Amino acid sequence: MSDPLVLLAAMLVPLGGAFFLPLAGRISAKLRNILALVFVLIPFVLLAAMLLAVIAMPMAQAAETKCATKYPVILVSGAGFTDTNFGLANYWGRIPATLQAQGAKIYYGGTDGWCSVETGAAAIKSAVEKALKETGAAKVNIIAHSKGGIEARYMISSLGMADKVASLTMISTPNRGSKAMDSFLGFPDILLRVVGAAGNAVRFVWGDRRPDFYAGIQSLGTAYMEDFNKKNPDKAGVYYQSYAGAMQMPLSDLLLALTSLYIRGYDGENDGMVGVESAKWTNFRGVIRGAGTAGVSHLDEVDFRRNNVSIQKADNGATDILGFYVALVADLKQKGY
């Protein structure tokens, strides 16, 4: 029952009692007791219900707007997959829906699964322009995973979009490249190009518009990123922050067990794809670690298995992956972004 109806009922019940009062002497004592209960106690119950509803309403509204940031949020995926993969599986799992339920306006970066940094950055620029046009906002917040962070940085620094971005949050972005990738890039170039051609064919089938596996892996080397960082410094007016993830042991994630072991030999502690040291960038907020023995893998960071992984209490107070993103966006809101 809505609040106005509750109030109306609370008013009419006593009036009904007044109407039946002259009949009190003509009815039995038992019936009088029943009427007394109806016409005296029920109004108090109805008014109490209305009061509780009034108190609960602001609390519900606060929960629904916890992530209602000033600027829309653009989620930028990493390498290997697109945002929604033909609608079959969202790269970000349940994270977008969770944030939207808390009031966030969500858009996607629209990058290919494997492409050059320049191509990925151009796609993100288009996504930013679309979000600004549809929302009327002056800027956007970008949350990027893995290689998506490199492409977002390039868009901000080299495509003249710094004034359109309020914040960039990077989750396990290889900002300093990977020594493990350097070892892979040491194979004969002709072999890498053959592998790249095969990768392009697979990604084209999966929806990439301009797949470029070869250029994509080149951008993950340490030499490339050293040069990239010199040419793409942080821009004033943009709030940058970064996080890393870490697996406790290679068997923490069977899908990434071999890569984690391999990367550990070159880059140390990692999430199965990106070393912790490489993920550190401006305003490094810490390492996302599992609450148990499993740790947090590159896949866990984006809710790949749709299993809300428990984490050690993060710097934003979160204790699971979905809660981590809610707290992250709520913090951006609190900062005025």
Shortest CA distance to 53 belongs to which of 61, 41, 42?
Answer: 61
Q: Are residues 40 and 185 in the same domain?
A: no
pLDDT for 316 beyond 50: yes
pLDDT value for 103: 96
Q: Are residues 31 and 106 in the same domain?
A: no
Burial 10-26 (b: 16+ CB within 10 A, else e): beebeeebeeeeeeeee
Q: Are residues 58 and 89 in the same domain?
A: no
**CATH code for the domain of 149:** 3.40.50.1820
Q: Are residues 187 and 316 in the same domain?
A: yes
How would DSSP label each residue in 172-237? Answer: S--TT--HHHHHHHTS-HHHHHHHHHHHHHHHHHTT-SS--HHHHHHTTSHHHHHHHHHHSPPPTT
Q: Are residues 140 and 242 in the same domain?
A: yes
């509803």: which residue's tokens?
A: 53
In degrees and rounded to multiples of 5, residue 76 shows phi and psi of -115, 120
Residue 42: helix, strand or coil by DSSP?
helix
Q: Are residues 162 and 285 in the same domain?
A: yes
| 13 sits in which H/E element | helix 3-20
Q: Higher model confidence: residue 150 or residue 310?
A: 150
Measured CA to CA, the distance from residue 95 to residue 87 in angstroms comes to 15
pLDDT in tens, 202-240: 888 877 788 899 999 999 999 999 999 999 999 999 999
pLDDT in tens, 54-64: 444 444 445 57
Q: Are residues 32 and 106 in the same domain?
A: no
Cβ(304)–Cβ(89) below 8 Å: no
Burial 218-247 (b: 16+ CB within 10 A, else e): bbbbbebbeebbeebebbeebbbbbbbbbb
Q: Are residues 115 and 161 in the same domain?
A: yes
Q: Are residues 87 and 53 in the same domain?
A: no
pLDDT value for 15: 44
pLDDT for 177 beyond 90: yes
pLDDT value for 4: 41
pLDDT for 242 beyond 80: yes
Q: Are residues 182 and 204 in the same domain?
A: yes
Q: Higher model confidence: residue 68 or residue 80?
A: 68
Q: Are residues 127 and 191 in the same domain?
A: yes
Cβ(243)–Cβ(331) below 8 Å: no
pLDDT for 243 beyond 50: yes
pLDDT value for 9: 42
Domains in the chain, number: 2
Cβ(296)–Cβ(256) below 8 Å: no
Of 12, 38, 63, the residue at which a domain comes to its end is 63
Instruction: State the residue range of the domain holding 130.
Output: 67-334
pLDDT value for 180: 96
pLDDT in tens, 321-331: 999 999 999 99
pLDDT for 2 beyond 50: no
